[in-house]
């Protein structure tokens, strides 16, 4: 269980499954599948790569969606301050796109953010319209110094960032 689906990233409609999606906190056994999904999207330039050791260190940030015993979507909630968290590493396997799994993952992350008392959640994205449908608003990067000065400043794209910052108020 929790093994990567060998059809990840393959073309075609993907495996048919009657299993309902199971959204849950990630477990140690999920790290290879999480890494596999991140590698696919990092190789396309859609997100930054993360090492296995980094994933183990940040495992408690991650949630997975499992269908038929396979991890088919992932997302993480990174906490910056008592006020601000971020949706990170949001990925849905290409074989499972357009099934509402991205929305389901973001809703789970927002539920967790509310549960622990965060007041704002942001994301950096190439698809702001997706986040707008979930109640996020586009904001300037300058309005998120917690993110910029702790993470972005270390990124190779720092001077040429092409992602859009979005934010939702949880009050």
Which of 11-15, 46-50, 135-139 has the weakest average pLDDT? 11-15
Per-residue confidence (pLDDT) for residue 140, from 0 to 100: 83
Residue 83 makes CB contacts below 8 A (sequence gap 6+) with 118, 119, 120, 146
Per residue in 63-109, pLDDT (tens digit) is 999 999 999 999 999 998 889 999 999 999 999 999 999 999 999 99
Residue 86: what are its φ and ψ, rounded to 5°?
-135, 140
Q: What's 22-169's CATH class? A: alpha beta
Report how far residue 112's alpha carbon sits from residue 80's, in angstroms, rounded to the nearest whole number.
Answer: 14
For range 141-167, the mean pLDDT = 63
Q: What percent of the chain has pLDDT over 90?
A: 63
């Amino acid at each position: 269980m929790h093994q990567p689906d060998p059809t990840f990233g393959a073309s075609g409609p993907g495996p048919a499954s009657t299993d309902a999606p199971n959204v849950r906190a990630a477990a140690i056994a999920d790290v290879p599948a999480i890494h596999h999904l991140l590698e696919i999207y990092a190789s396309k330039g859609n997100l930054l790569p993360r090492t296995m050791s980094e994933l183990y260190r940040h495992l408690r940030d991650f949630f997975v969606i499992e269908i038929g015993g396979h991890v088919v979507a992932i997302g993480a909630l990174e906490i910056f301050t008592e006020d601000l968290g971020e949706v990170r590493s949001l990925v849905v396997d290409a074989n499972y796109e357009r099934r509402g799994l991205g929305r389901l993952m973001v809703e789970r992350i927002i539920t967790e953010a509310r549960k622990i008392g965060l007041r704002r959640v942001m994301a950096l994205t190439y698809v702001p319209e997706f986040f707008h449908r979930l109640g996020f608003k586009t904001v300037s990067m300058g309005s998120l110094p917690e993110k910029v000065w702790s993470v972005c400043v270390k990124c190779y794209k720092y001077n040429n960032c092409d992602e859009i910052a979005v934010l939702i108020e949880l009050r």
